[in-house]
Amino acid sequence: MDETLTRIIRIPNPKYKRSGPKSYVYLLNKYKFSPTKPGPYVLGGKVQQKGKFGISRLIGGKAHVQRVLQKKSATDARPGDVPAEDQQNDSLYLCPVTIGTPGQTFNLDFDTGSADLWLFSTGLPKKTNTTGHNVFDPTKSSTFKKTPGATWKISYGDGSNASGDVGTDNVNVGNLIIENQSIELAKQLSDQFTSGVGDGLLGLAFGSINTVRPQPVATPVENMIEQADIPKSAELFTAYLGSYKDKNDPDHGISFYTFGYIDDAARAGQEIHWAPIDSSRGFWQFKSATASVGGKKITRSGNTAIADTGTTLTLVDDTLCQAIYDAIPGAKYDDQQQGYVFPSKTSVDNLPVVSFAVGGREFAVQKEDLAFADTGNGTMTYGGIQSRGDLPFDILGDTWLKGIYAIFDQGNKRFGCVVRNDPTQDPSVQ
């Protein structure tokens, strides 16, 4: 192993407040799927006019119906826009990354479910609230170069977006310097981005879903491989996602990423289980044809799943979701929360072992992670596993990933994992 490569420690987001509905809305926006369970949030049609003339209103042009996430009102039968207070960036943890010469440091969300590297920048309008954020100033970096004609835009299911210009600069990730990495500088951000703590996002999915136009750009990992910044034998990155609940466990709940090597301490002498991935959608997607709930195996013929470090929840099909909560005493579906909840005083012994297949082997969710957030009344807990709606694949987010050490082997197009050692379980959400 190259001794200069080090762990990149994930830093807890001090302002993050767990909210089941907000995390679910984030996923509805990110993956733009339709809910199949009742609740306030729906995917509806919104007429938009593409006009040719006019200032206060558009005249001429064409109208089209855009599918957008909306919220049903208790007093109005017609759904309306999802208010900003119902949303938040799902960034429970952030990672420090240094960009430019001299380096400017940013706390970014490492996300295997997207492929853009974007930052707050000095190009944002003066009215934008950047309080508490680190803002990239390209004029203070001697190695920054603007990419003429290149733009980017990330659009979400509720119609909100982030967009801006593109340039290249040196990016330092865990003492690994990627030269001339494309970075996307925000010139416009919707409120849910500015209200969070993070300074942007570093996408770890495949470059085919990068949003830069007219031509997508290479991701940081793709450039690490192209520039031979990481060994040919280890064209990979890994994620070890700990929790504040694990402070008394052997690893003390530490949370980190590595690039270019597999951490021996995290692997703990175990043989890595590998499954081939299908990157045609741009994600880390693999076959997941079985699951188990309380020792009962469930066959899910043809099912697949993606590993998404940028998501706190785990989403599965409705049949499996129902089976999971049927195994928890007192659990029920709550229309107002748009999710399954269960009694907060549920003991570990009354929680089932839930596991999902990675290729031919199943890996379990830690029981403590079946509990995600208090519903607001102190008596019921929002579950960490919820409905994927009409999505054709599962999203295995932090709820599941915290039970394994995950290896994303880009060079060999495979996903690997070993069981994470976490002997104590604390299902409380306080």
Q: Which helix (H) or strand (E) holds 322?
A: helix 318-326
- Hey, what are 196's tokens? 């969070």
List C-alpha distances in Å: 251 to 265, 287, 423, 425.
Answer: 9, 30, 10, 14
Catalytic residue annotation: 111, 308
Name 181's Cβ contacts closer than 8 Å, sequence gap at least 6.
Answer: 117, 168, 169, 170, 171, 218, 220, 223
* Residue matched to tokens 């709550």: 334
Q: Is the four-CA dihedral 74, 79, 81, 86 of positive or negative sign?
A: positive
Q: What is the biggest distance separating any 2 CA atoms in the chain, rounded to whole angstroms?
A: 68
Q: How far apart are CA 184 and CA 395, in angstroms?
A: 26
* Residue matched to tokens 């170069």: 145
Nearest to 401 by CA among 430, 365, 349, 367: 365
